[in-house]
Amino acid sequence: MICSCHRPPRIDPPGKLAGVLLLACSVGAFGTRRASALPASSQSSTPSHLRSAMDSTDRVGTISPGDNRLRPRRVAERTDTIALLVTPRGGAESVHATLIRRVARVTTGRDKILRETQRYQFADGSTSDDTLDVRASTLAPVRYFSKNRTGSFDVRIDGADIDGWQIDSLGARQVVQTRAKAPFFVSIMSEAFAAAFPFDSGARLRLPLANPPSPDVRTVEFRAGGVDTVNSDHGRIVCQVITGPGETTNWIARSDGHLARLRWTLPNGTTIWKLPARDAALR
DSSP per-residue string spanning 200-212: GGSSEEEEEEE-T
Distance separating alpha carbons of residues 16 and 3, to the nearest angstrom: 12
User: Which distant-in-sequence residues (6+ apart) come within 8 Å of 73 by Cβ?
Assistant: none
| Residue 103 φ/ψ, nearest 5 degrees | -125, 125
Indicate whether 56 pLDDT > 60: no
Whole-model pTM: value is 0.79
Q: Which of 2-11, 32-41, 190-199, 257-266 is predicted with the least confidence, judged by mean pLDDT?
A: 32-41
Burial profile 52-61: b = 16 or more Cβ within 10 angstroms, e = fewer: ebbeeeeeee
Overall average pLDDT of the 184-213 stretch: 90
Q: Which amino acid is at 171?
A: G
- Mean pLDDT calculated for residue range 164-185: 97
- The average pLDDT across 71-85 equals 96
Q: What is the pLDDT of residue 174?
A: 97
| Phi (first) and psi of residue 26, to 5 degrees | -100, -40
Q: Percent of the chain having pLDDT more than 90?
A: 70
**How many Å apart are CA 250 and CA 260, to the nearest integer?**
8
Which pLDDT does position 204 carry in this prediction? 87
Q: How many residues does the chain have?
A: 283
Residues 6+ apart with CB under 8 A from 24: 13, 14, 15, 16, 35, 36, 40
Q: pLDDT at residue 10 above 70?
A: no
- How far, in Å, are 86, 158, 229, 236 from residue 232 at the CA level? 19, 39, 10, 6
Q: Which amino acid is at 208?
A: P
Closest listed residue to residue 23, CA positions, set 216, 243, 226, 259: 216
Sort 271 into a burial class: Cβ within 10 Å, 0-12 / 13-18 / 19+: middle
